[in-house]
Amino acid sequence: MPVTGPETMTDTLRTPLYDLHTALGAKMTPFAGYDMPLQYDGIMAEHKHTREAAGLFDVSHMGQAHYTGEEAALEKLITADLSALAHGEQKYTLLLNEQGGIRDDLMVSRPFGDDGLFLVVNAATKADDFAHIAKNTSGKGELRVIGDRALIALQGPQAADVFSALVPDAAKLVFMQCRVFTLDGTEIWVSRSGYTGEDGFEISLPADRAAEITQKILDDERVKPVGLGARDSLRLEAGLCLYGHDMNEETTPVEAVLMWAVAKPRRERLDFPGAARVMQMLADKPARKRVGFTMTGAPAREGAEIVKDGQTIGVVTSGGFGPSVGGPVGMAYIDTEFGAPGTEIEILLRGKARPAQVTKMPFVEQRYYRGE
Amino acid sequence: MSVKYTKDHEWVKIDGDTATVGITSYAAEQLGDVVFVELPDVGKTFDQGDEMAVVESVKAASEVYAPVSGEVVAVNDGLEGEPQKVNESPDSDGWFVKLKLGDTSQLDSLMDDAAYQAHIS
């Protein structure tokens, strides 16, 4: 079935919140075809504010879609057990290629009062993802790309207090639950989830009401707008993968240490893409795996080589300064024999070997709300 | 004491045959929050344009080049514990190194304040 929706990438695109960003003084940057806010007050301040109070993110560049029809056709492409996905629940899942390589990571949810599924995929991969899903479910299901809704995230320990002042019942959601609410007569789709390691919400709202509702949330003095810079440092400290960096089509869920996202019944049935190869790799242990690392001094960045006794044993896939950790943190793919937390390694920075240590992730405590 | 600038946004304050080097407030602003500065060892010599130091912000690493040739006679050890000084006072407490000048004629190739302001505007 053909993909429908405004998915033609030509010039730099703007989200429905573009004017709000510029009015707030954001420094803008091109990202995945969009002109996005990199920062407002500064990455460090925005990062810390999110961990201490609440940060508001525009993630409207991400791909939203609605799927209806035969769910088995969609399920074949991903790693979730859709039959176990109840109304009002959301799952993190993976879109795999036939070799078990990761095409993308995504959220799938089953909204109440809806006969379909709501998908949220990465911005840089959305055109490919939607074409792939549409092609492989053709004649069995329909994928409708949602181009008229914005997506924002409100994250941080005060997010629930802030948001429940506007939408009281939102506080009843627990991590990875979703509901449709009405705010000022506008239908908003809310899930208790995010990409920071903090409690919070992701909120899909009509594009033509997005600026007004976002401004209303920002009117709460506990909330500050946060750009992509701090979004990256927050997710890195939380140990969350960034697609295209910490996993890609060449990495399997075993190597990426994301087997928790492959539902048990799917493993047993061996019916996810590349299942035979992936389960064999799980049994044999992969040659390399994703790990976290910490170090002192200059942060190792993506692409830095990891060595041990003069041999290359891995590569950094994400790295930077962790403002809440107070030092450099990163993720790397490393030969599995060196993957145990505590292992001393060296990372080449500008030709010099710097000591680093394999470190268990997350680097900061995840503070998801799982109920009283 | 005169101040000169490079097109790569380093400033140089000249006092006799000593040149104090830092990065401009414009550069510090562009870099964002500085989290680490890698400084050279005292005694090391650089030719004009050599990579002399590295400044790491939350987002990226940037090289700092020697605005003039010379030998490092002092480095700002205070940046080790307080790299944020580069953002707070790039023109003073956030200095990087002091160089003993080799060829003073190299100063002529640098910009004065008016030329630098025009360069960044």
How many angstroms separate the CA atoms of A280 and A275, rounded? 8
pLDDT given for residue B2 in this prediction: 87
Res A327 pLDDT > 70:
yes
Q: What is the mean pLDDT of chain A?
A: 96
Which H/E stretch holds residue B62? strand B61-65
**Residue A372: per-residue pLDDT:** 75
Average pLDDT (A110-129) is 96
Interface check for B36 against chain A (CB to CB < 8 A): the answer is yes
CB–CB of A298 and B36 under 8 A? yes
B44-58 CB burial, b ≥16 within 10 A, e <16: bebebeeebbbbbbb
Domain A18-63+148-237 has CATH 3.30.1550.10: no
Give the tens place of pLDDT for each residue, A264-280.
999 999 999 999 999 99
With contacts defined as CB-CB under 8 Å, which chain B residues touch A47?
Answer: 58
pLDDT tens, residue by residue, A194-243: 999 999 999 999 999 999 999 999 999 999 999 999 999 999 999 999 99
- Report pLDDT for A8: 44
Averaged pLDDT for residues A72-88: 98
Q: Which segments within chain A are labelled E, that is strand? A: 27-31, 34-39, 54-58, 63-69, 89-96, 102-110, 117-121, 141-146, 149-155, 178-183, 186-191, 200-206, 223-225, 288-295, 305-308, 311-322, 327-335, 344-349, 352-359
CATH class of B2-120: mainly beta
A306 has pLDDT over 70: yes
d(CA A177, CA A368): 12
Local confidence band at A184 (pLDDT 50, 70, 90 cut-offs): very high
User: Does residue A35 sit in helix, strand or coil?
Assistant: strand
The answer to whether residues B97 and B21 touch, using CB atoms and an 8 Å cutoff, is: yes
Q: How far is A297 from chain B (nearest CA, A)?
A: 6
Probe site for chain B from A321, A347, A352 (most B CB atoms < 10 A) = A321
Query: What does the alpha-carbon distance between residue B17 and residue B101 come to, in Å, rounded to a whole number?
Result: 5
Contact A42 B33 (CB under 8 A): yes
pTM for the model? 0.94
CATH fold label, A287-359: Elongation Factor Tu (Ef-tu); domain 3 (2.40.30)
**Residue of chain A with shortest Cα separation from B57:** A321
CA-closest candidate to residue A292, choices A331, A249, A327: A331
Edge-to-edge strands, sheet with B45-46? B2-5, B10-15, B18-23, B97-101, B70-75, B45-46
A28-32 mean pLDDT: 95
Is A290:A332 a contact under the CB 8 Å cutoff?
yes
ipTM at complex level: 0.87
Cβ A47 vs Cβ A323: under 8 Å: yes
B83: left (phi over 0), alpha (psi -120 to 50) or beta: alpha
Residues 49-68 of B with CB under 8 A from A: 54, 56-61
Interface test with B, best of A27, A43, A236, A348 (most B CBs within 10 A): A43
Calpha distance A285→A266 (Å, rounded): 19
Name which of B58, B59, B61 is nearest A298 (Cβ-Cβ): B61
Q: CA A181 from chain center: how many Å?
A: 23
In this complex, is the C-beta atom of B30 within 8 Å of any C-beta atom belonging to chain A?
no
Residue of A nearest to B81 (CA): A297
The answer to whether the Cβ–Cβ distance between A298 and B33 falls below 8 Å is no
CB contact under 8 A, A321 and B32: no
pLDDT tens figures, B54-104: 999 998 899 999 999 999 999 999 999 999 999 999 999 999 999 999 888
Neighbours of A40 (CB within 10 A): 20
Tokens 């990495």, residue located: A251
pLDDT tens, residue by residue, A129-145: 999 999 999 999 999 99
Among chain B residues, CA nearest to A318: B59
In 3D space, the residue among B1, B5, B6 whose CA is nearest the CA of residue B18 turns out to be: B1
Residue of A nearest to B53 (CA): A350
Are B36 and A47 in contact (CB < 8 Å)?
no
Nearest by CB to B59, from A45, A229, A328: name it: A229
Identify residues of A whose CB sits under 8 angstroms from chain B CBs: 38-39, 42-45, 47, 229, 233, 297-299, 301, 320-321, 323, 328, 350
Nearest chain B residue to A27 by CA distance is B30
Q: Where are the domains of chain A?
A: 18-63+148-237, 287-359
Residues of A in contact with B36 (CB under 8 A): 297-299, 321, 328
Name the residue among A38, A43, A298 with its Cβ closest to that of B56: A298
How far apart are alpha carbons B121 and B119 in whole angstroms? 6
Number of inter-chain CB pairs under 8 A, A vs B: 43
Interatomic CA distance for residues B88 and A179, integer angstroms: 45
Q: Supply the pLDDT for residue A113.
A: 87
